[in-house]
Structures are given as structure tokens and as C-alpha cells.
């Protein structure tokens, strides 16, 4: 169970870092766009401007895709964690068997890189 807890922590940390980076990039890009003379009087909404800027920047779209993938992986790991917790509550399953299940999930989802 310790490995899945460590993986859970690492993935959640990565997701938080990617979210922060995305939020900061949006703010910087928006105000950079807004500071241009042609855009100073624009009444376009923040969301509309950001959406357009993202569509023009493949790297930005890839960063957003990475964030979505990490968030989905985080949900998967949380589900695995909950499953393992529930298995430990059952008296008829040995700790060794639960650890084997944990290792199988780590292998199946390629989670070893987060250890």
C-alpha cells in the first residue's frame, strides 16, 4: 500500500504543478495580448481571448493535454487506492495478496515511473 500512496502523492503533485503553470501562463499571455496597442480597447472576454491564443500555440495545447492526462491518471490511482483500502478491510484477504494486486495495478497502468 505504501507504493500506491507514494504514486498517488506524486501524481497529485504533478497535476497541481501543471494546473498552476497553466493558470500563470493564461494570465501572462492575456495581459501580454491586452498590452498590445491594437488590443487595448478590445472588449473580448478573457476566456475568448485565451481560447484563441491557445489555438494558435501548439505547445500550449500539448500542455493542456498533458494536464488532462495527469488528472485522468490521478482519478485512476485514487480508484485503485480506494479499492486497496476496501480490500484491507476484508478479513479473508491476506496482506501479501493485496500487495500482489497493488503491484499488478502498478504494472498494468505503468505507474512505476512515479515511484
3-class SS string, 33-63? HHHCHHHCCCCCCHHHHHHHHHHCCHHHHHH
Determine the average pLDDT of the residues in 5-28: 97
Contact 18, 115 (CB under 8 A): no
DSSP string, the chain: -HHHHHHHHHHHHHHHHHHHHHHHHHHHHHHHHHHSGGGTT----HHHHHHHHHHT-HHHHHHHHHHHHHHHHHHHHHHHHHHHHHHHH-TTS-HHHHHHHHHHHHHHTTGGGG-
pTM of the predicted structure, to 2 decimals = 0.86
- Under the banding of pLDDT at 50, 70 and 90, the label for residue 1 is confident
Render pLDDT for 70-95 as a digit per residue (tens, 0 to 9): 999 999 999 999 999 999 998 789 99
Contact 111, 7 (CB under 8 A): yes
Which set of grid coordinates corresponds to residue 56?
Answer: 494558435
Q: What are phi and psi of 44, to 5 degrees?
A: -65, 145
pLDDT of residue 33: 96
pLDDT of residue 90: 83
Amino acid at each position: 500500500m505504501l507504493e500506491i500512496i507514494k504514486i498517488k502523492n506524486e501524481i497529485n503533485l504533478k497535476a497541481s504543478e501543471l494546473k498552476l503553470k497553466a493558470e500563470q501562463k493564461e494570465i501572462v499571455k492575456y495581459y501580454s495580448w491586452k498590452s498590445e496597442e491594437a488590443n487595448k480597447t478590445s472588449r473580448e472576454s478573457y476566456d475568448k481571448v485565451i481560447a484563441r491564443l491557445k489555438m494558435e500555440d501548439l505547445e500550449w495545447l500539448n500542455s493542456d493535454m498533458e494536464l488532462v492526462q495527469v488528472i485522468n491518471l490521478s482519478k485512476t490511482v485514487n480508484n485503485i487506492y480506494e479499492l486497496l483500502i476496501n480490500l484491507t478491510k476484508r478479513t479473508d484477504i491476506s496482506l501479501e495478496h493485496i500487495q500482489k494486486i497493488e503491484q499488478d495495478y502498478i504494472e498494468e497502468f505503468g505507474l512505476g515511473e512515479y515511484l
